[in-house]
Chains A and B, each alone.
Chain A
Amino acid sequence: MIEIPRLPLADWIDAGLDALTDHFASATKLVSDVVETGIEGAVDGLMWLPPWVSILLVAALAWRLAGRRTALLALLGLGLLWNLDLWEPTLQTLVLVLISTLVAVAIGAPLGIFAAISGGVYRVLFPILDFMQTMPAFVYLIPAIPFFGLGPVAAVFSTVIFAMPPAIRLTTLGIRQVPADLVEAADAFGSTKWQKLVKVQLPLAVPTIMAGINQTIMLALSMVVIAAMIGAQGLGGEVWRAIQRNEAGMGFEAGIAVVVLAMILDRITQGIVRTKPGSAS
């Protein structure tokens, strides 16, 4: 009988990650310090405002972008979180979600555009996205630690990886589903590729891209909660503490806070899509 040796896949991956860490650790540590300072600064800044001011501001924003019902939801939901003494963890989670989303979209949207324009990029990128999306989310937490150390930056890093695929996918989809005759019209008038992209394809892809951003935010929120395991603070931290102390009530309070935050973020981003002119057709 032939013995097939067990593939040392784990060793290879460790070796690869170690090599990366050795080479880039100083850089990633620097990034980590800067980003961590930024996150703390943002949270402190938001904490400086009295909660009721922030709540009214969010409600006003929700009213403008998504209508009265979302404004009411924001008012009551955030009021509840304040009442439950979850204001600070909520802000910490919000800041992590927004920063992660910003980074994910900043990287994902251009990649999505490249994949829409170039068949080659598409064929390389999309299998990687499948891989990224089916990999269990927890796994991303492990390599984040040697690069960025325990804490919020490692959380942002793994969240960006986890939440980026829909931003890429839906940007590509949005551009590819622009009706062929509109693209042809743009060509017929002598548009350059760039003009075609900026004047026709991207504006028409906006609703789909916004749907992608909406999904990215939702995924970021779920990942930021999980990332409490590697030291991200916020609502996930509250849940994590509740697990360790076996306090179901406290866990549910924090869980409900996540739900409220998710609903508000979801409604507001969907509202942006709807109020965008020209997206009706």
Chain B
Amino acid sequence: MSVEQSVKMAVRGLTKIFGDAPEEALELLRQGETKQSILERTGQTVGVADASFDVYEGEILVVMGLSGSGKSSLIRCLNRLNEPTSGEILIDGQDIVGLGHRDLLEVRRRKFGMVFQHFALFPHRTIQQNVEYGLEIQGVSPAERAEKAQTALSQVGLDGWADAHPGQLSGGMQQRVGLARALAVEPDVLLMDEAFSALDPLIRRDMQQELIALQSRMQKTIVFITHDLDEALFLGNRIVLMKDARIEQIGTAEDILSSPATAYVERFVAEVDKTKVLTASAVMRRARTVAFVSDGPRTVLRKMEDEDLSLLFVVESNFRLRGVVRDDAALKAVQRGERGIQGIIEPGTEAVGLDTPVRELFAPLSESSMPAPVVDAEGRLKGMVLRASLLQGLAEQGTAPEQEEAA
């Protein structure tokens, strides 16, 4: 993250009490009573107790906690789906807690986009009409909102699905629609409430990676709620850890893993194996030079000489991995007068996925001196993992190493 960060959203002393007589509970909270004892004494449920934090422009802030920790109440306070009992929520310096109904609607329309755990798509509307919803209620003209909806749909990779109904889509695709619906209004802040929790694990990981990819292009300010520490560590630039309505710790993934603020956080993160958090995408190096299937052996040899390599990954024109080619094989092909390299492509080390945990990389890499290619879900080459970079990544304890250029 860059050093200079401007505060997009500032939350100060935010408290939410569910019940008909919050004053007494509020007073007890000030005296430092716990959620449990307040419930017993007053019958009021404390959703969020005195939460203060900043959300920086362009970061993913993950609010993480187990169920009942108050994270969902917190995110709903941010756009006042839950009316805060006390506290301030400043967006670009404007406190939205005191706003009247009209102004609140305006803030919800212009500043926020929200993505829901169970997608909350409108079943009676087509995908496009779903994505257009936010624009429609703002009174945007049909032509303009159709255009923006198309843009949002292609951002999430759902071109061509505009006329389908939500019921026809898989869970992962439905949540892409949910994301597109939120992006279509071009919000300042994206609120994502357990957005991937209802998806099955594989699709979930895809969506996490895609969110990261989207984020690298769009630089949105995102508040992301999750109960899953792995997800929090993977997505969060910073993490807010909640327990029993209170914030336990705010910090980067490294802060939380390496210096837990409380015993609770410590116990929580003890579950996380550092080599499990670290994935291939974090330790891989970019493959700066590759051979294309259509290259001739002379071209391949020239590329190897330029980069001082004895081996190149071979990819198709769309970067789908085909195998490797070695310098000696290429040399022989030139001597035999062959025009293409199809005959000399070898399978090479088995490819690993972007999200493969690092601990699963030890075995293949110790057996082979060749780097392991890293591919995405479509089998496109994204980088490679060398033994050296693997060890370096581990030495840095859960932080991604700087992306060195391959020697």
- 1/0 per residue, CB under 8 A from A, across B227-254: the answer is 0000000000000000000000000000
**Inter-chain contact B137/A191, CB cutoff 8 Å:** yes
- 1/0 per residue, CB under 8 A from A, across B112-150: the answer is 111011101011110000000110111000000000000
5 additional A-B pairs beyond A189-B134, A280-B123, beta carbons within 8 Å, are A179-B120, A190-B106, A190-B134, A199-B133, A279-B124
A-B contact count (CB 8 A): 66
Q: Which of A179, A182, A195, A281 contacts B137 (CB 8 A)?
A: A195
Closest 3 pairs between A and B when the two form their complex, measured CB to CB: A278-B124, A190-B109, A190-B108
A173-198 interface (Cβ within 8 A of B): 179, 181-182, 184-192, 195
A247 to B319, CA, bound (A): 89
**Inter-chain contact A187/B81, CB cutoff 8 Å:** yes
Q: Which of B105, B117, B118, B120 contacts A190 (CB 8 A)?
A: B105
A189 to B106, CA, bound (A): 9
A281 to B120, CA, bound (A): 12
A152-183 interface (Cβ within 8 A of B): 179, 181-182
Point out the residues of chain A lying under 8 angstroms from B113, CB to CB.
Answer: 189
A200 to B122, CA, bound (A): 7
Q: Which of B105, B114, B124 contacts A185 (CB 8 A)?
A: B114
Point out the residues of chain A lying under 8 angstroms from B81, CB to CB.
Answer: 184, 187-188
A265-281 interface (Cβ within 8 A of B): 277-281
Residue among B123, B181, B191 with the highest chain A CB neighbour number at 10 A: B123
A225 within 8 A of B: no
**Inter-chain contact B138/A190, CB cutoff 8 Å:** yes
| Whole-angstrom distance between the Cβ of B91 and the nearest chain A Cβ | 14
Interface residues on A, range: 20 to 34
A222-281 interface (Cβ within 8 A of B): 277-281
Interface size on B, residues (CB 8 A): 30
**Inter-chain contact B116/A199, CB cutoff 8 Å:** no
| Whole-angstrom distance between the Cβ of A66 and the nearest chain B Cβ | 21
| Whole-angstrom distance between the Cβ of A126 and the nearest chain B Cβ | 23
A204 within 8 A of B: yes
A181 to B181, CA, bound (A): 15
B79 within 8 A of A: yes
**Inter-chain contact A189/B185, CB cutoff 8 Å:** yes
| Whole-angstrom distance between the Cβ of B195 and the nearest chain A Cβ | 12
A203 within 8 A of B: yes
Point out the residues of chain A lying under 8 angstroms from B320, CB to CB.
Answer: none
Point out the residues of chain B lying under 8 angstroms from A199, CB to CB.
Answer: 122, 133, 136-137
| Whole-angstrom distance between the Cβ of B167 and the nearest chain A Cβ | 5
**Inter-chain contact B124/A277, CB cutoff 8 Å:** yes
Chain A, residue nearest B187 (CB): A189
| Whole-angstrom distance between the Cβ of B164 and the nearest chain A Cβ | 12
B382 within 8 A of A: no
**Inter-chain contact B124/A189, CB cutoff 8 Å:** no
Main secondary structure of the interface of A (DSSP, over half): helix
Q: Which of B118, B125, B138 contacts A278 (CB 8 A)?
A: B125
Please judge, given known A-B contacts A190-B105, A280-B167, whether A184 and B136 are in contact too, CB under 8 Å.
no
Q: List 21 A-B contacts (CB under 8 A).
A: A179-B120, A181-B117, A182-B120, A182-B122, A185-B114, A185-B116, A185-B122, A188-B108, A188-B112, A188-B114, A188-B191, A189-B109, A189-B113, A190-B110, A190-B138, A191-B105, A203-B124, A278-B123, A280-B167, A281-B123, A281-B166
**Inter-chain contact A278/B108, CB cutoff 8 Å:** no
Point out the residues of chain B lying under 8 angstroms from A182, CB to CB.
Answer: 120, 122
**Inter-chain contact A181/B167, CB cutoff 8 Å:** no
A186 to B133, CA, bound (A): 8
B165 within 8 A of A: yes
Chain B, residue nearest A182 (CB): B120
**Inter-chain contact A188/B79, CB cutoff 8 Å:** yes
Point out the residues of chain A lying under 8 angstroms from B114, CB to CB.
Answer: 185, 188-189
A182 to B105, CA, bound (A): 17
A116 to B110, CA, bound (A): 29
A222 to B155, CA, bound (A): 57
A15 to B108, CA, bound (A): 56
Q: Which of A181, A188, A204 contacts B124 (CB 8 A)?
A: A204
Point out the residues of chain A lying under 8 angstroms from B166, CB to CB.
Answer: 281
Chain A, residue nearest B114 (CB): A188
A182 to B185, CA, bound (A): 18
| Whole-angstrom distance between the Cβ of A249 and the nearest chain B Cβ | 50
Point out the residues of chain A lying under 8 angstroms from B137, CB to CB.
Answer: 189-192, 195, 199
A189 to B180, CA, bound (A): 13
A189 to B181, CA, bound (A): 10
Please judge, given known A-B contacts A190-B106, A195-B137, A203-B124, whether A181 and B116 are in contact too, CB under 8 Å.
yes
Chain B, residue nearest A181 (CB): B120
Point out the residues of chain A lying under 8 angstroms from B165, CB to CB.
Answer: 278
Q: Which of A192, A204, A281 contacts B167 (CB 8 A)?
A: A281
A245 to B3, CA, bound (A): 99
Point out the residues of chain A lying under 8 angstroms from B117, CB to CB.
Answer: 181
